[in-house]
Structure 1
Amino acid sequence: MTALDFGIVFPGQGTKHELMEQALLLHRAHPLVQQLFATFGALEVDDLDLHDTAVSQPVTYVLGIAAVESKLGSEVRLPLVFGHSLGELTAAVCAGIIDVHSGFQLALKRGRLCRDRGVHTPGAMVAVAAAGLDEIEWVRRRALASTPGVLEIAGINSGRQAVLSGDAAVVAKAVELAEEECLRTELLPISGAFHSPRMIAVLPMWRRAVAAVEFRAGHSPFLSTIDARSHTDPEEVRELLIRALLMPVRWRETLQAAREFEFTALLDAGPGQTLVKLARRDPIVPIEALEDYRPAG
């Protein structure tokens, strides 16, 4: 198994569809991509409905794995791996804690559960950028005061950006209030209140799915974005992946924790370069695009 001096990070759902389509075409011959197409009865990229989270989640998972294996091979030892939201599952596979095919089945299950929950209780997610997180909390509380429902901080990506998740009407109110404050907002292409209490209804089904999969000691350090700590106990990783459906993504804290590990850089496996862009706005540790990586020799 080859040892490398850089870590790998994996994005969650939310990559622009055109970037996902490009990545699917690039990795079309990869066995896992072929399995993905067969699973959804797709012959061409256009046959995949990337607007459907039941499709886009496993697509994101598959493309992350395909990118790493295409660039680095299927057996690499890394100094660190972690992921954002869905990317936490991909990272657990890359770390050797879950086998790649079990990871694919979990990505399919997670996508279906999230889709079904969004249909039953429509939700939305929005990224809000401000001078500080206190401004985002000010918007969140006022939105809840005027439009009762659920609105939670689903992730803290930097000292100036967080993602809000909740009922569609409350998210819409938060966007309105944020824009009144001249804050920048970006609605995510997601139709559910992920990483919020709205996901509690599907948690038992997700727990059963994760419990059915074998978890083992990995070969690479795994850093969780749920508690911003490294884990070697496979059962701890199992429980974290279960809780991740409701818990916020502590991305900024996890990047700070990553500085304790020895690596020359972190590489964003994609699809897209979401994590590269986040690192440019809040340069705690350098993150580069895996697609731009050129191995020595």
Structure 2
Amino acid sequence: MKAYVFPGQGSQFTGMGKDLYENSELAKSLFEQANEILGFRITDIMFEGTVDELKETKVTQPAVFLHSVILAKTLGENFQPEMVAGHSLGEFSALVANGTLSFEDGLILVSKRALAMQKACELKPSIMAAVIGLEDHIVEDICNSIDGVVAANYNCPGQLVISGELHAVELACEKMKEAGAVRALLLHVGGGFHSPMMEPAREELAAAIEATTFATPICPVYQNVTATAVSDPNEIKKNLIIQLTAPVKWTQSIQQMVADGATLFTEVGPGKVLARVIGKIDKGVVTAHA
């Protein structure tokens, strides 16, 4: 079965999407539509902006979304997913790809999500950190022993991201190293995503999601919150709202997709991070990039 996966924040790069814009009339039209919806020329930042300009959450999230979704739309008849999944932000790209959301609604929600998360980050200092070389249960035990930090992204075996209040994450990193972690390092991100620190953003995004039409998809999405196949629009909505404060179960999602018959995983969007981690989760599957 053909599975398509969509990357999240962190996969952006200067020049992203420029080749699509220049070589596809459909892509050019969609990019220009996006500029109008957002109220600023995000294409200028994507194609020519600095690394720092691209790092702004209000830019990064819609930029990665646009690159992924427009790339998928230019594939035409070659794009026939039997299952989809997206890492964090990438879940919105996946939901446009499988027909749950329209292009316009997906972009509006991603933009609102980005702004809400930015505001939540400004309320209290928070951060994320990557922990390399420890079993999941050890990372979870250490997080459970410290108030203000949680396991946030289960990327692949031996690679887990933690998130929360700044000092709590710093303390957790020290304990991870003491427990034998190869590395435990703070990440250069806007704040403590996928933790209770995002509660204000979750409340704000919930209203926008509830007011948006979600259609029945052409194939199931394996959602971050449940790591299971979901096709019911109301359940998809609920899980999408919870996602902001809950961990991204990427390892578990890929394992479930393989168990359900996925043999080829194609990454659609900027970068090749997901293809690499999928190879670490299951060495028996084939990965590709659109």
Q: TM-score of the superposition, structure 2-length normalised? A: 0.87
RMSD: 2.3
Identical aligned residues as a percent? 27
Aligned to 2:111: 108
Question: What is the CA deviation profile of residues 56-101 of structure 1, one whole-angstrom value per residue up to 9, with x for unaligned ones?
Answer: 011111111122122x228943111011111111111111111111
Equivalent residue letter for 1:84: H
Equivalent residue letter for 2:273: T
Alignment pair present for 1:6 and 2:5: no
Pick aligned residue for 2:65 from 45, 61, 71: 61
Equivalent residue letter for 1:22: G
Question: What is the CA deviation profile of residues 28-81 of structure 1, one whole-angstrom value per residue up to 9, with x for unaligned ones?
Answer: 3423333444533353534472221111011111111122122x2289431110
Aligned to 1:32: 30
Equivalent residue letter for 2:68: G
Structure 1 residues without counterparts, runs of 5 or longer: 292-297
State the distance in 1 between where 2:155 and 2:211 align. Answer: 31
State the distance in 2 between where 1:223 and 1:10 align. Answer: 11
Alignment pair present for 1:152 and 2:150: yes
Contact 2:264 2:288 in 1 (8 A): no
State the distance in 2 between where 1:225 and 1:287 align. Answer: 21
Aligned to 2:251: 252
Secondary structure class of the residue paired with 2:127: strand
CA apart distance, 1:184: 1.8
Question: What is the CA deviation profile of residues 256-282 of structure 1, one whole-angstrom value per residue up to 9, with x for unaligned ones?
Answer: 110243444011113111111212322
Aligned to 1:168: 166
State the distance in 1 between where 2:19 and 2:48 align. Answer: 14
Deviates more, 1:122-131 or 1:36-45: 36-45
- What is the total number of aligned residue pairs between the two structures? 278
- Please identify runs of 4+ aligned residues in structure 1 that moved more than 4 A: none
State the distance in 2 between where 1:47 and 1:129 align. Answer: 32
More helix by share: 2
- In structure 2, the CA distance between the partners of 1:150 and 1:131, relative to structure 1 (3 Å rule), is closer
- In structure 2, the CA distance between the partners of 1:74 and 1:110, relative to structure 1 (3 Å rule), is farther
Secondary structure class of the residue paired with 1:195: coil
Question: What is the CA deviation profile of residues 124-148 of structure 1, one whole-angstrom value per residue up to 9, with x for unaligned ones?
Answer: 1112112412332354356x2xxxx
* 1:113-132 equivalence runs, <5 A: 113-132=116-135
CA apart distance, 1:233: 1.0
Structure 2 residues without counterparts, runs of 5 or longer: none
- In structure 2, the CA distance between the partners of 1:80 and 1:134, relative to structure 1 (3 Å rule), is same
